[in-house]
Structure 1
Amino acid sequence: MHDDFKFEPVKGLPEALPEGEHILWQGRPSTWRLAREAWKLNWIAGYFTLLAVWRVGVSSTQLPLGEAMTHAVPFVVIGALCCLILLGLAAISARSTVYTLTNKRVGMRIGAALTMTLNLPYTQIGSASLERKRSGHGTIAFELLGGTRLSYLMTWPHVRPWYMARTQPALRCIPNAAHVAEIFAEAAEIRTSAPQIARRPQTAIAAE
């Protein structure tokens, strides 16, 4: 099988990890969950189902029920095609995505046609929120500190829905989300509590 991302020195990351950094977890969205939550597959399927039922109801007032049901076929076919397209888009999006947690940052390789990688150091993340479903799948969204801003459209669907003014990048529709949230929380706590040493130019040190 051809690997479109074979050029990556580390899967999901644009460059090799520096010394002292290591991967704690990697994953990607669930295709089915992404189709339902981001692409609204259930709503589209429900919409065409209602259209088909409505068409049968209208036609059955003038025609036998068996014949009236055939009038719903175009709505069923179009609805099925739309759902397949959305499912395909979700599958492409999920396949091209790699979420990474290291001991120092969150990495997000996203985008199918236009691929980009987001590097979110734990020191730039103010808080995180977990939305978990009964299946165990969930979304972990990150609120960024300071003036860090991301484009909602460029990063969708890997964002917290409807947070457009201050876009919150998110690990969307991942399996076993609670466990991943624990990994993130522990790594972020260790990283942010460690002292940060800023390197100064040698000339400045000499001047002092």
Structure 2
Amino acid sequence: MSSDHDDFAFEPVRGLPQLLPKGERMLWQGAPRWQDLAVHAFHARKVIWYFIGLSGLACAMRLAEGQTAVDATRPFLWLIPMGLIAAALLTLLAYGSARTTVYTVTSKRLVMRIGMALPVTINLPFSQIDGASLRLFSNGSGDIPLKVKASERVAFLMLWPHARPFHITHPQPCLRCIPNADDVASLVAAALTGTVPAVAARETRDAPSHAVAA
């Protein structure tokens, strides 16, 4: 089975379609944590709870109709496995999405290499970004949505799942489920204002972050 490196061997720099121009430096590079992507973007956990609730409702209706407890619990025997299969498929999609995604923050722009079947690279110069926000999860990972100017909008379907949820009319590119999101958000804010330190970068997938030389 080929690795992410092999699949994108044509890239001169991982995650980038071409070498950075002179004077531009890479500050940070990372990818979503696939476990969090499965929960927060592909909603695998909600799917399981949906099938549990559906099974419970079917069971309650059968009991109300006077069926025996054994007969009433039969929906659990086929609905729960269906839910587990659906959640497993969504988790597999989340894993594939995370493995083929690379977010890159440079001193001048944000680059998103996204897409499993049809990879695309989205370049967002800081001049096109009006601001960024942070949604932090309990384990330290989180989302960093980016508000872009109306004239520079990117289609929601092209971005998904790397878009802020429910912002369809005015899509916001989003660094989804990034480990150490608080630190990354601080770096993005510094990059947007041009106040990055001499060494300020972290590469994050599932491993602990480590600095990237400027």
Shorter-chain TM-score tier: 0.7 to 0.9
SS in 2 for 1:91: helix
Q: Distance in 2 between matches of 1:117 and 1:13?
A: 8
Asked if 1:6 corresponds to 2:15, the answer is no
The TM-score, its normalising length taken from structure 2, stands at 0.83
SS in 1 for 2:190: helix
Q: Of residues 129, 135, 147 in structure 2, which corresponds to 1:131?
A: 135
Query: Which residue in the other structure is 2:106 paired with?
Result: 102
Q: Of residues 102, 120, 126 in structure 2, which corresponds to 1:116?
A: 120
Deviations along 1:116-164, one digit per CA (max 9) or x if unpaired, are 1111111221111111112111111111125111101111111111112
- Give the C-alpha shift of residue 68 in structure 1: 4.0
Structure 2 portions without partners, runs of 5+: 196-214
Q: Of residues 2, 24, 28 in structure 1, which corresponds to 2:27?
A: 24
Which range moved further: 27-36 or 65-74? 65-74
- Give the C-alpha shift of residue 56 in structure 1: 3.1
Q: Distance in 1 between matches of 2:169 and 2:57?
A: 39
Asked if 1:87 corresponds to 2:86, the answer is no
- Give the C-alpha shift of residue 23 in structure 1: 1.4
Contact 2:15 2:112 in 1 (8 A): yes
- Give the C-alpha shift of residue 180 in structure 1: 0.3
Q: 1:123 to 1:71 in 2, by over 3 A?
A: closer
Read off the aligned partner of 2:173 and give its amino acid letter: P
Query: Which residue in the other structure is 2:149 paired with?
Result: 145
- Structure (1 or 2) with the larger CA radius of gyration: 1
Q: Distance in 2 between matches of 1:71 and 1:184?
A: 49
Q: CA RMSD in A?
A: 1.9
Q: Distance in 1 between matches of 2:169 and 2:63?
A: 49
Count, aligned residues? 192
- Give the C-alpha shift of residue 20 in structure 1: 1.6
Contact 1:59 1:71 in 2 (8 A): no
Say which structure, 1 or 2, has more relative contact order (CA 8 Å, 6+ apart). 2
Q: 1:70 to 1:182 in 2, by over 3 A?
A: same
Query: Which residue in the other structure is 1:40 paired with?
Result: 43
- Give the C-alpha shift of residue 66 in structure 1: 4.6
SS in 1 for 2:131: strand
Q: Distance in 1 between matches of 2:33 and 2:150?
A: 31
Moved over 6 A (4+): none
Read off the aligned partner of 1:101 and give its amino acid letter: V
Contact 1:23 1:101 in 2 (8 A): yes
Q: 1:54 to 1:9 in 2, by over 3 A?
A: same
Contact 1:139 1:171 in 2 (8 A): yes
Percent identity of the aligned residues?
42
